[in-house]
Structure 1
Amino acid sequence: MRGMQGPPTSSRRRFLGLAGSTAVIGALPVAITVRPVEATPEMMATAIRAVTGGANVQTGKVKLDIPPLVENGNSVPMTVSVTSPMTPTDYVKSIHVFNEKNPQPNMGNFYLNPRTGRPQISTRVRLADSQKITAIAKLSDGSFWSTTADVVVTLAACTEEVI
């Protein structure tokens, strides 16, 4: 006797159908290709123009601490700091970090306000190859300040292919 439940054959059929399709999908070979490094310095310049709106970017006020030589590009420590009093009328609005050879030229955008305290960010980044890193800070008066650093990478990241 079946009781109050529906016919078990419909649930069983649904289960077997799903299990069979999952087994077929699981048996197919999977090929994953990570996008190759195709970035160029021109792509970095375009990304910088997108952030700055084409405004003049001056050199100074920004300090970029990143090792000049890294053995492995998978995890590179980086700190960007800006000289600013961080008062309600004079503060760093944002810090942007760019690279010239990774697939994504804009590595990070960090937004600050007068209550942030110290205008500094620290993070780790992946570097696809030896390249130039540029950090740009936008101040509350609308001006942009920057610095660059060249980093030599002996073992590149971001270029693996899995097949």
Structure 2
Amino acid sequence: MTKTNDGFALPRRVILQGVASVALVGLGKLALGVAPAFAANDKYPEEAFKQKSVDDAIKLLYGKTAEKSDKVKLDAPEIAENGAVVPIAASSTLADVTSISFLVAENPNALVASYRIPAGTVPSVANRIKMAKTSNVIVVVEAGGKLYSATKEVKVTVGGCGG
């Protein structure tokens, strides 16, 4: 028996039934056609994630090049004291954003994250990425069939001592 704050005892079976009901409601929504974040026909861009250069990764991921835009905002620290956990965020004021991707020029594999942005969603994502060393971080936003980007250099320090 599990006791509640008001002193009533709830059998474990009642609690488990409630949890199972919530899970079934979620599965029911999926079965009724409520779309998940990724459509079934979206294919994981495995080859793009294997590319060593930023240009090759963008070409495989999108098939075109990006132009710089002041409507794409990249938030990243100037100095990252720990290259294993670098906080980054991107947002855009562009209309019809369909994807946002993060790339790091000096990483062994340039593409570090790529997100599909469902229609009607605020085009803003945040992540913590791993950086091998000081490098340019590039965010690429796909909007209206075109690519836009922003770049920022992030300095990775050794041992977190700033130098």
Q: Structure 2 vs 1, CA of residues 52 and 71 (structure 1 numbering), >3 Å: closer, same or farther?
A: same
Q: Which residue of 2 aligns with 1:128?
A: 132
Report the equivalent of 2:87.
Answer: 77
Q: Which residue of 2 aligns with 1:58?
A: 67
Alpha-carbon distance in structure 1 between the residues aligned to 2:100 and 2:110: 14
Residue 98 (1) aligns with residue 126 (2): no
Within 5 Å, which residues of 2 pair with 1:106-117? 106-116=111-121
The whole-number CA distance in structure 1 between the counterparts of 2:89 and 2:100 is: 11
Aligned residues: 108
DSSP-derived class of the 2:60 partner: helix
Equivalent pair of 2:59/2:65 in contact (CA under 8 Å): no
What residue in structure 2 maps to residue 13 of structure 1?
Answer: none
The answer to whether structure 1 residue 49 and structure 2 residue 54 are counterparts is no
Q: 1:56 to 1:45 in 2, by over 3 A?
A: closer
Structure 2 counterpart of 1:121, which letter?
Answer: V
Aligned residue type for 1:70: A
| Comparing 130-139 and 56-65, the one that deviates more | 56-65
Q: Distance in 1 between matches of 2:81 and 2:62?
A: 32
TM-superposed CA distance for 1:115, in Å, is: 2.5
Tell me which stretches of 4 or more aligned residues in structure 1 moved more than 4 Å.
none
Deviation string for 1:93-148 (max 9, x for gaps)? 000111111122100110012222x2100111111000011100111x20110010
Gap regions ≥5 residues in structure 1: 1-38, 85-89, 157-163
Alignment-derived partner of residue 119 in structure 1: 123
Q: Percent identity?
A: 29
* Cα offset, 1:56, TM superposition: 3.9
The answer (yes or no) to whether the contact 1:91–1:113 under 8 Å persists in 2 is no
**3-state SS of 1:151 partner:** strand
TM-score using structure 2 length: 0.62
Task: State whether residues 66 and 77 of structure 1, in contact with CA within 8 Å, keep that contact through their aligned partners in structure 2.
Answer: yes
Quote the Cα distance in structure 2 between the aligned partners of 1:136 and 1:83: 13
Shift of 1:52: 2.5
What's the TM-score once normalised by structure 1's chain length?
0.62
Q: Which runs of 5+ in 2 are unaligned?
A: 1-50
Query: Of the two structures, which has the highest relative contact order with CA contacts closer than 8 Å and spacing of 6 or more?
Result: 1
Tell me how far apart the structure 2 counterparts of residues 135 and 59 of structure 1 sit (CA, whole Å).
10
User: How many angstroms does 1:155 deviate by?
Assistant: 2.4
